[in-house]
Amino acid sequence: MRRIQDLQILHFVQNIYMKLLVTGGAGFIGSNFIHYWLKKYPEDMIVNFDTLTYAGNLENLKDIENNPKYKFTKGDVCDRDTVFEAVKDCDVIVHYAAETHVDRSIMDPDIFLKSNVFGTQNILEAVRKYEKRLHHVSTDEVFGALGSNDPAFNEKTPYDPRSPYSASKASADHLVRAYFHTYGIKMTISNCSNNYGRFMFPEKVLPLFIANLMEDKKVPVYGDGLQVRDWIHTLDHARGVDMILQKGKIGETYCLGGQHEMTNLELTKTLLKVMDKDESSIEYVKDRPGHDRRYAIDFTKAKTELGWEPQIKFEDGLLDMVEWYRDNQEWVNRCRSGAYQDYYKKQYIER
């Protein structure tokens, strides 16, 4: 493959295409990014690098498994040799791979530090050695919590992580910037608000609630339910990463938000309405430790410099998500039971 020096012109010059390495590409956000990219740039090559933990599911990509422009490589970002082998033949690395569930990080922080910090360092070392272009995907949770009248997070907001998960992601962000300043690697970072959409693992709030309601079970709302989150459709997120790769300035960070703040209780009531349920389905449970009160993203920089802003209305995206989960009950049940681990091993790994 031709060695490319200026990756920002790749899709503006005829007959020049990219080979992307997407870490964590079998997960919820990564798999949606792969679908998005191959649909928009069908001549590009995508290598999906994933260790296939409980949340990495190759069924998410079943419809493209025979696409000659798509390849799956089973690998762990904590395995330095495997990372280096995967990185050296690609032009761009989009680094999604991470442990992401806050509750799990509270119960067992170790794996979050290993994957999110030391795994990211392996990626950085490979990027440095082979002089590749890196985009690191992060979260708004690194900024901590906002008061009800505080301005939204932006690229200048100081970091104040409040859970082992967000602390591990903050550490990874700092490492990426340090490698830019120290070694001059070509990198960008995005900090994004809460994603939603198809293929979201059932332990997360929206798919958990959807699955419970389809089974006429109650949905657990933490505390008073007045924690505020900003929701962005995962395809709007994918488009934001795309525009950062095409137009973003090396060394810079871009915040991507959905422009849709709502309390967890409002979220729950909206979902109840979509699924034709009433508020008797709500069960209030004890709040979790370190539960941030409000997140919100100011994406002015991305809008001004990249021309990006969210396009999918929350209500439309939520309805599509509910319908997808209704139509894919076997996928949901396998995820919830863990049975898909054996399923994809038989369907994909051993064939």
HEC per residue, 310-329: CCCCHHHHHHHHHHHHHHCH
Q: Residue 314 and residue 151: Cα distance in Å, rounded?
A: 22
In sequence order, the β-bridge partners of residue 138 are 191
Which pLDDT does position 160 carry in this prediction?
95
Q: Which domains does the chain have, with CATH numbers?
A: 7-200+231-260+294-312 (3.40.50.720)
Q: Which of 223, 117, 95 is nearest to 169 (CA)?
A: 117
pLDDT band at 7 (very low <50, low <70, confident <90, very high): low
Which member of 36, 165, 254, 325 is catalytic?
Answer: 165
Q: Tokens representing 305?
A: 């410099």
Which pLDDT does position 12 carry in this prediction?
47
Q: Residue 46 and residue 67: Cα distance in Å, rounded?
A: 10
Mean pLDDT value of segment 226-251 = 96
- CA Rg value for the chain: 20
Which pLDDT does position 334 carry in this prediction?
81
Q: Is 79 an annotated catalytic residue?
A: no
Q: Residue 216 and residue 151: Cα distance in Å, rounded?
A: 39
319-345, pLDDT tens digit by residue? Answer: 999 999 999 988 888 887 764 444 444
Looking up tokens 């280096």 gives: 84
AA identity, residue 40: K
AA identity, residue 232: I
Which pLDDT does position 93 carry in this prediction?
98
283-292, pLDDT tens digit by residue? Answer: 999 987 877 7
Which member of 141, 230, 242, 261 is catalytic?
Answer: 141
Specify burial of residue 140 (Cβ count, 10 A radius: 0-12, 13-18, 19+).
Answer: buried
Which member of 140, 261, 292, 298 is catalytic?
Answer: 140
